[in-house]
Chain A
Amino acid sequence: MIEKKREPARWIFAKELRDTSLTIMEGDDEARKEYFITPAGSFGRRILFCGKITQKKEENEMTKMTVADHTGAFYVTFFSKEFNQNTKIQIERVNENDEVMIVGRTTYFKTNEGKMYININPETVRNISETDTEYWKVRCALSLNSRLAAIREIRKSQDIDDKHLGDLGFTQDEARGCIKASELYEGYNMGQLEEIIAGMSVYQFSDTAIKLREKVMDIIRENNPFGGITYEQILEKLSKEGVEPRQLDETLNLLGTDGEIFEAEKRKFKAI
């Protein structure tokens, strides 16, 4: 599957990485390597992402950081070694609440129950501007959007091959990754990833969503100390005012797009 001179860094949202529960082994015996494969068909061993540092802790030779984009959090762990002192200097320069761009290797941790966590081992960490972050978000959305479209094509006709996807305009990586992902994540519901795209497309939010914005934000913020608040709980708090799920969805999308909130767990929201 991978035959490139150098492994590219994949650009993916936190949500897509968090939904990743599988890896694939590629290459011959000695060069055998473990690649993540996301439900939306991105695969690799290195990612590039942007976001805000929400937490940074140093213990001895180890630094742990949580970096949030508008869809969730990335978990970054750095071990200071002789060969990575350049990265160490870069990490020392960044602080909580900084916007950063990180390139890092993925490492995998599986629990006994079979749940997989992906940790990022940073190679590059750098403060960036908000515009740079916005740029990353848009490019990421375009990439995700394209791969979701490939998966929809694959689901339409099972015997579609990478050649055919190529004719439809998908890149080789997209075609291969999406075919593999469709096989491996058969029942995966793409709804939430599609919502991320919908939330980012140039779309006029309704007056209701804009009016609800502050109220929903307050509810979420109040619940941050308790680890966030679920969708159902927010809806319940708003039910007296006759707010419908559709309106809440739109408001949450609006807040997500503006980078005010993120999903801390499945359907559980926190303020950034």
Chain B
Amino acid sequence: MESSKNLKIAEIKGEVMEINVKAKILSLSKREVQSAKGPLTYHYGLIGDETGVMPFTAWSFPTTVRENDVYEISKCYTKSYKEKLRIYFDNRTEFKLLTETMEVKRTYKYYEIKDLNLNDKFVTVEGLVTSENRREYEKDGEKKEVFQYILKDQTATIPLSSFGKKLEAGKYARIEGARLDEFNGYYRLNMSDKANVEYINIDLKDEEKIMDIVNLRGAVGGITVTGFIINMGEKSGLVVRCSECNLKVDDIRCSDHPEAPLKYDIFTYFTIDDGTDYLQVSAGFEALKEIANINREYLDNPQRPPLKKEVKEKIESALTHHALKIKGNLRINNMGISLRSTEISAITEDLVKSLKTEINGGSN
């Protein structure tokens, strides 16, 4: 009988039979599927050692195997599934629990910013490091500093906080081991001074990428979509704000600042449909001023205060049922994903022309 081979994770190349590994179970999930022979349960997850990490599928699995334990695993094999190598365990595979600890070499999957999602929190990202902002804070009586940036790649933008490590603003960086989280509905990246940063000589093309709504995933920024505005929210139009706290006032004065004068503002929310899906969008003064032709003077004119009906009509006739291009930041709430727009403009002939270049003749 052929004897099995002891391999480190990083040494496993291609499809091999009969190998032994010493590895830590990093994650473990169970799944039930319907097969021709009835329901079938299998396990899957990640294993790793000091050289790397690999996904596994277990057709058969001792119930004693647990996450974060280290095992000597013998008689397993690898197969390529969807062009990615996986390690497989079946009923011949043996697990021997080891008491030793193991430092696993983490590899962080690379994501384009638009594809970031909370299912994978430690990631590799790339992008132009822009708009530096330094802040000091105190932790355990010690003064520390954090540098805040906006990271921008070809697909989207995301805020990045670097704890203790100043990055080179204006350069294109590859960051390994940044941590993704969500705050107030927006995604952001955090990195410690242990994250690996490499600067790459890449010129980020300043071209706008139009996204299909169906492909929008995470709450990232700098997104551009197009589509027809199919309906507008009832409460769109003129809003009154407190000049002190900037909050919307429904009554005749702000309950917190009854002395403060009120000011007029505009706000709208609507649905945009691009044929792949639809998306909720909200827009304030900055995004609306040009397309709806409403300026500050018009809103602030004491001789002729803006009329509710007139403002609503201006916004409606500019937006509703037209094809528009909208830039903004995606936000996640319990209703799903929505876009806070920073810029709204009409679809131009040039944009149609550039979309047209994406059509590549019928059959291939």
Interface residue ranges, A against B (CB under 8 Å):
5-6, 8-11, 48, 101, 103, 124, 126, 128-129, 131-132, 134-136, 138-143, 145, 148-149, 152, 167, 171, 173, 193-198, 200-203
Report yes or no: A202 in contact with B362, Cβ–Cβ below 8 A. no
Report yes or no: B226 in contact with A135, Cβ–Cβ below 8 A. yes
Give A8 to B361 CA distance when docked, in angstroms. 27
**B1 at the A/B interface (Cβ < 8 Å)?**
no
Q: Of B274, B348, B361, which contacts A139 at CB under 8 A?
A: B274
Other A-B pairs, 18, CB within 8 Å; known A138-B355, A145-B362? A5-B336, A10-B275, A48-B228, A101-B228, A124-B230, A128-B321, A131-B346, A132-B322, A132-B347, A135-B226, A135-B352, A136-B228, A152-B363, A152-B364, A171-B215, A173-B214, A197-B359, A202-B356
Given contacts A131-B349, A132-B323, contact A145 B355 (CB under 8 A): no
Given contacts A132-B323, A138-B356, A171-B276, contact A194 B363 (CB under 8 A): yes
Residues of B contacting A138 in the complex (Cβ-Cβ under 8 angstroms): 352, 355-356, 359
Give A203 to B363 CA distance when docked, in angstroms. 14
Give the Cβ gap from B343 to chain A, nearest Cβ, in Å.
17
Give A203 to B351 CA distance when docked, in angstroms. 17
Residues of B contacting A135 in the complex (Cβ-Cβ under 8 angstroms): 226, 323, 347, 351-352, 355
Give the Cβ gap from B119 to chain A, nearest Cβ, in Å.
16
Residues of B contacting A203 in the complex (Cβ-Cβ under 8 angstroms): 361
Residues of A contacting B348 in the complex (Cβ-Cβ under 8 angstroms): 131
Report yes or no: B321 in contact with A126, Cβ–Cβ below 8 A. yes
Q: Of A132, A134, A143, A195, which contacts B275 at CB under 8 A?
A: A143
Give A124 to B274 CA distance when docked, in angstroms. 16
Kindly identify, within residues 231 to 254 of chain B, every residue whose CB is under 8 Å from any CB belonging to chain A. 231
Report yes or no: A9 in contact with B359, Cβ–Cβ below 8 A. no
**B37 at the A/B interface (Cβ < 8 Å)?**
no
Report yes or no: B228 in contact with A194, Cβ–Cβ below 8 A. no
Residues of B contacting A194 in the complex (Cβ-Cβ under 8 angstroms): 362-363
Kindly identify, within residues 334 to 364 of chain B, every residue whose CB is under 8 Å from any CB belonging to chain A. 336, 346-349, 351-352, 355-364
Given contacts A48-B230, A135-B226, A140-B275, contact A171 B214 (CB under 8 A): yes
**B82 at the A/B interface (Cβ < 8 Å)?**
yes
Q: Which residue of chain A is the closest to B336 with respect to CB atoms?
A: A5
* Chain B CB within 10 A, most for which of A5, A136, A138, A152: A138
Residues of A contacting B273 in the complex (Cβ-Cβ under 8 angstroms): 8-9, 48
Residues of A contacting B120 in the complex (Cβ-Cβ under 8 angstroms): none
| A–B pairs, 12, beta carbons within 8 Å | A5-B336, A6-B278, A11-B275, A124-B321, A126-B320, A128-B322, A131-B346, A131-B349, A136-B323, A145-B360, A194-B363, A196-B362
Report yes or no: B362 in contact with A131, Cβ–Cβ below 8 A. no
Give the Cβ gap from A63 to chain B, nearest Cβ, in Å.
18
Give A48 to B142 CA distance when docked, in angstroms. 60
Report yes or no: A200 in contact with B323, Cβ–Cβ below 8 A. no
User: Chain A binding site: helix, strand, loop or mixed by DSSP?
Assistant: helix
Given contacts A48-B230, A131-B349, contact A201 B360 (CB under 8 A): yes
User: Chain B binding site: helix, strand, loop or mixed by DSSP?
Assistant: loop
Kindly identify, within residues 57 to 72 of chain B, every residue whose CB is under 8 Å from any CB belonging to chain A. none
Give A134 to B347 CA distance when docked, in angstroms. 10
**B277 at the A/B interface (Cβ < 8 Å)?**
yes
Given contacts A48-B230, A131-B323, A132-B323, contact A8 B355 (CB under 8 A): no
Report yes or no: B356 in contact with A200, Cβ–Cβ below 8 A. yes
Give the Cβ gap from A142 to chain B, nearest Cβ, in Å.
6
Give A132 to B359 CA distance when docked, in angstroms. 18
Give A193 to B276 CA distance when docked, in angstroms. 19
Give the Cβ gap from B123 to chain A, nearest Cβ, in Å.
20
Residues of B contacting A9 in the complex (Cβ-Cβ under 8 angstroms): 230, 273, 275, 278
Give the Cβ gap from B336 to chain A, nearest Cβ, in Å.
8
Give A6 to B280 CA distance when docked, in angstroms. 12
Give A201 to B360 CA distance when docked, in angstroms. 6
Report yes or no: B359 in contact with A145, Cβ–Cβ below 8 A. yes
A-B interface, 9 closest residue pairs, ranked by CB to CB distance from nearest = A194-B362, A11-B275, A126-B321, A198-B362, A132-B323, A197-B362, A201-B359, A201-B361, A135-B323
Given contacts A101-B228, A135-B323, A135-B352, contact A202 B359 (CB under 8 A): yes
Residues of B contacting A8 in the complex (Cβ-Cβ under 8 angstroms): 273, 277-278
Give A202 to B359 CA distance when docked, in angstroms. 7
Q: Which residue of chain B is the closest to A134 with respect to CB atoms?
A: B352
Residues of A contacting B352 in the complex (Cβ-Cβ under 8 angstroms): 131, 134-135, 138
Give A8 to B358 CA distance when docked, in angstroms. 23
Report yes or no: B321 in contact with A101, Cβ–Cβ below 8 A. yes
Given contacts A131-B349, A171-B215, contact A103 B359 (CB under 8 A): no
Residues of A contacting B276 in the complex (Cβ-Cβ under 8 angstroms): 143, 171, 173
Residues of A contacting B277 in the complex (Cβ-Cβ under 8 angstroms): 8
Q: Which residue of chain A is the closest to B273 with respect to CB atoms?
A: A9
Give the Cβ gap from A38 to chain B, nearest Cβ, in Å.
14
Give A173 to B323 CA distance when docked, in angstroms. 23
Give the Cβ gap from A125 to chain B, nearest Cβ, in Å.
9
Bitwise, B8-19 to A at CB < 8 A (1) or not (0) is 000000000000
Residues of B contacting A202 in the complex (Cβ-Cβ under 8 angstroms): 356-357, 359
Given contacts A101-B228, A132-B347, contact A142 B321 (CB under 8 A): no
Report yes or no: A134 in contact with B349, Cβ–Cβ below 8 A. yes
Kindly identify, within residues 276 to 321 of chain B, every residue whose CB is under 8 Å from any CB belonging to chain A. 276-278, 320-321
Give A71 to B13 CA distance when docked, in angstroms. 53
Q: Which residue of chain B is the closest to A4 with respect to CB atoms?
A: B277
Give A193 to B355 CA distance when docked, in angstroms. 19
Q: Which residue of chain A is the closest to B277 with respect to CB atoms?
A: A8
Q: Which residue of chain A is the closest to B213 with respect to CB atoms?
A: A8
